[in-house]
Structures are given as structure tokens and as C-alpha cells.
Amino acid sequence: MKRVEQIGTAQTATESGVRVVRVDGQVVVEWPGIGRLVASPSAEPARFVPSASLAPDLLRKFRATDLLACQRYLSGRISLHGSSVSFASDCVALVGQSGSGKSTTAMELVERAGASFVADDIVPVDWELGTAIVNPVDDTFWLSEDSRRLFDSELVELGKRACSPRSRATQPGRLRAIIELGFEPGSTRVGLHQLEGQDAFLAVSHAHVCFRSGGDDEDTYNFESRARLCRAVPIFRLVRPHSLDRIC
């Protein structure tokens, strides 16, 4: 008889009712209507089985975002829910609540400010000789209809769609800043200030994509991973009017 232990839900990039359970020592992560990942504590690679009804473009996006973050988390690496662009070899990660304009702001920086696409929805952060770096992800921006109209005045397709960026980063870049985006209703001004202490830690914590597997000292490890990132990378909050024409 299989021993099934409910561990809990995950803090992921999508609101999809993710369920994490332990079955006979294996970690099983289920995304309803999307698929299932089975990870063994041994050196065997994790196995992902997608839902047969999942559209190819959605599957590709999922593999580059939530699935990537889950596999990284289970192997002890950190990912942020956000978007990232690079200027030369320096990367910026944009984080914030759902609807705060992360993807749209990143697309704006690529299309109109000379940045290169690094990642969207999931920003994988690794360490190289004590420096936080971001590796480019083979992905596209996923924008709402209103956001896409900023870049295409003759928009035909409706709803949320994939948008290929004008320029892509080809090499890992140093993570120079994490910027938490927010809107200030009724305001006409843009404000940028650096976060310190608890505020910085909370910004990283809210963006940290977690799939709690019930491992030993997991919460302590997550705490230390966030604290390390806060020590290594300056964190800012950018607040602007809630208007698409002032998105960045």
C-alpha cells in the first residue's frame, strides 16, 4: 500500500491549485489540467507527464516557467516570480504582485529602451563565485490584450498571447538589482526608493517560488537563501500611476 502524505500547496507563478504530496518517499507535484512531476530522492532525473489536453504553446510556456522553477526548487536552487531583462551583461529582475506590470514593463524595456529579454514569469537565480547571476530562458513574454496594444496598434488576436521579444540575451548576466513594482492609484508621480532590512526581505520572500517538499530544515534553507540574495543584490520599490501609458 502506498504511503501518501499531503505536504501542502505551492507558492508558484500561476494560481493553479498546485498540490505537493509525498508518495513512498517520492515527491509528487500536481498541476490540475497541466500535468504531474515525480521527483525521487535518488539521483534519478525527475519525470514530468503533461496532460494530453494541454495546448502545445501552453505546454512550452509551462516548461519554461513553473516546471523549471519546481525542478530548481527541488534541487535546492532559487527562482523568483518575475521578469528579467539585461543591459549588456547586467540583469534586472522585476517582481511584484500579479497585475503589477512585470511582463509589460520588461517588454517596454526591450522594445523601447535597448534591453534584451532574459526571462518572463520565472527568473532563475544562481551563484557564480559569490555573485548572483541569471541565465537566459528560452521563453516569450505572455501579455494581456491591453498590454499588447502598446506594441501593436493593429492588434487582431484577442486575449492573452505569447509575444516574441525584439532582442534576447545569449549569455548569463550579473543580477544588479531586484525591483518590486507597484501602482499608486490617483498619483501622477513615479517614485523609486531602495528597500532595506525587513522590507527587502519581504519583497524577496513574496517573489520566491516555493514547492515545499517537507525536507529536513527546508524552511531554514529558504530563509537563508533569501537572506543571501538580500545581502548580495540591492532591492528597490518602483511605484507609478496605474496607467498603461506610464508603465515604465
User: What is the Cα–Cα distance from 144 to 150, expressed in whole angstroms?
Assistant: 10
DSSP letters, 131-155, are EEEE---S--EEE-HHHHHTT-TT-
Torsion of CA 156, 107, 104, 37, to 10 degrees: 90
For the chain, what is the domain count? 1
Measure the CA angle with vertex 190, ends 186 and 196; round to 5°. Answer: 110
Instruction: Return the axis-axis angle of helices 218-232 and 197-207, rounded to nearest 10°.
Output: 120
- What pTM does this model have? 0.87
Cell numbers representing residue 204 in the block: 524577496
CB 181 within 8 A of CB 94: yes
Residue 35's domain comprises 4-246
pLDDT band at 183 (very low <50, low <70, confident <90, very high): confident
| Mean pLDDT to the nearest integer, 123-150 | 88
Q: Which helix (H) or strand (E) holds 25?
A: none
- Return the closest-CA partner of residue 190 out of 246, 137, 138: 246
CA angle 235, 237, 243 (to 5 degrees): 145
State residue 243 phi and psi, 5-degree precision.
-150, 135
pLDDT, tens digit (0-9, with 9 covering 90-100), for 210-225? 998 777 788 999 999 9
Span 50-90, pLDDT tens digits = 999 999 988 999 999 999 999 999 889 999 999 999 999 89
